[in-house]
Amino acid sequence: MKKVNMKTCKICVMNESVKEFKLDSNNVCNFCLEWEKNKKIYLNFDAETEKNNLNKIKNKILKLKKNKYDCVVGLSGGVDSSYVVYLLWKMNLNPIIIHMDNGWNSKTSNSNISKILEKTKFDFKTLILNWNEFKDLQKSFLKANVPDIELTTDHAIFAYIINYALKNKIKYIISGVNFATEHSVIPSWGWRKDDFNHINAIHKTYGTVKLKSYPKMNPFKKIFYEKIIKRIQIINLLDFVNYKTSEAKNILKREFDWENYGSKHHESFFTKFFQGYILPKKFNIDKRILHLSCLIRNNEISREKALDELKMPNLDTQKINEYKNYFKKKLSLSDKEFEDMMSSQPKNHSDYSLDLFNNFIFKNISFILKKIL
């Protein structure tokens, strides 16, 4: 249940509903302190530095080119990935764009994607997830009572892009992940995106359909190709420019007639309903406090404005029933199944599998190295 008068950071809007939240004696939270430590590395490039950064990246990419495409990039139609594609276009690079359809895309995101592709004339591939498999996977995550169901979408596109790059000998993968607006990671809210073993552990318990075509990746494979034999390299392009979402949105609107879709990641109906209804009601997780806090630290919104926004309902209250019905119908969930899911006790991802890479291999490698050195 939501507590009234929760302790809140005096700089951002993070509060004690987050398990990892801590306040120091000045009432500043651990996420703000972490940001202060790291921001010098990533932020406030002047225009000249920004230009140099992008030039260096371009030269690096072109130097090792083996395919007609310079790099691979995923495009969701949201602001971060759209802005990455805009930058690549401005840099005169020739990426192959991967777009995924998981069955839930909104009209706005699809139209944003079409407008961007039409103007840039970049080649693209659409990965259409097998709906029967993906529906079964999403339902199994709902039944498992874990908070990071988006993992099923994130993993698919991530795995597909890496596998595509490897198969086509394209070394560079350009990502929209960025420090400026996504710098806080809250471990209790999610799980690493490259771990199919975890997805499989949950699906084996609750799923009914075999995952034949769903893209798969595991941390060992990714680390092997990325760090050991260096066949692929992931570049978080937005970390090399002075990234502000508000400015990026204006540029995208001007260049592509790109449309805003409301809150962060609301480019899909699933995300909108999951983050706006299921997460706050069942898990007491309000992702807006994380997104708004990042924007406050990045000087894009004032704390007062963020607090005002948090007073607003997560979803349009008039439409909740309509949304709920659509969600149940699309996932073929009966009223009882939906209500049972909503009232079941939340679980942690770690209840289903160990993070083998972090918990076992990493510790053992460190242990062995300590013995040798």
Residues that bind Zn ion (CB under 5 A): 9, 11-12, 14, 29, 32
Query: Rounded to the nearest 10 degrees, what angle do helices 79-90 and 107-120 cross at?
Result: 0
Of residues 32 and 199, the one with the C-beta less far from Zn ion: 32
Q: Smaller CB distance to Zn ion: residue 39 or 221?
A: 39
HSE value, Cβ hemisphere, 13 Å, CA-based, for 263: 24
Closer residue to Zn ion (CB): 12 or 129: 12
Residue in 187, 164, 144 with CA at minimum distance from that of residue 100: 164
Min dist CB 260 to Zn ion, Å, is 26
Q: Where would I find the beta strands (DSSP E) of the chain?
A: 71-74, 95-101, 123-128, 172-175, 233-236
Q: Which is nearer to Zn ion, 21 or 164 (CB)?
A: 21
Q: Measure the CA–CA gap between 267 and 261, rounded to whole angstroms.
A: 6
> Least CB distance from residue 8 to Zn ion, whole Å?
8
Q: Which of 34/337 has CB closer to Zn ion?
A: 34
Phi and psi torsions of 175, nearest 5°: -115, 155
Q: Using an 8 Å Cβ cutoff, are 6 and 28 in contact? A: no
Q: Minimum distance from CB of 351 to Zn ion (Å)?
A: 29
CB of 11 to Zn ion, least distance (A): 5
Q: Which residue is nearest to Zn ion (CB)?
A: 9
CA distances 149 to 27, 28, 139, Å, are 32, 31, 9
Comparing CB distances to Zn ion, the nearer of 34 and 50 is 34
CA distance 242 to 298: 10
DSSP, collapsed to helix, strand or coil, labels residue 94 as coil
Cβ proximity to Zn ion, 26 vs 343, nearer residue: 26
Closest CB to Zn ion among residues 43, 159: 43
State in angstroms the smallest separation of the CB of 300 from Zn ion. 15
Decide whether 29 or 54 has the Cβ nearer to Zn ion. Answer: 29
- What distances in angstroms separate CA 328 from CA 197, 281, 286, 322, one per listed residue? 27, 16, 22, 10
What's phi and psi for 94, nearest 5 deg?
-120, 80
Phi-psi region of 101 (alpha: psi -120 to 50; beta: other; left: phi over 0): beta
Minimum distance of Zn ion from residue 88's CB (angstroms):
33
User: In terms of CB distance, is 37 or 63 closer to Zn ion?
Assistant: 37
Q: Dump the DSSP string for 159-223.
A: HHHHHHHHHTT--EEEE---HHHH----GGG---TT-HHHHHHHHHHH--S--SSS----HHHHH
Neighbours of 334 (CB within 10 A): 9
Minimum distance of Zn ion from residue 10's CB (angstroms):
7
> Cα separation of 161 and 74, whole Å?
7
What is the smallest separation between the CB atom of 357 and Zn ion, expressed in angstroms? 29
Query: From the CB of 22, what's the least distance to Zn ion, in Å?
Result: 10
3-state secondary structure 210-255: CCCCCCCCCHHHHHHHHHHCCCCEEEEHHHHCCCCHHHHHHHHHHH
CB of 2 to Zn ion, least distance (A): 19
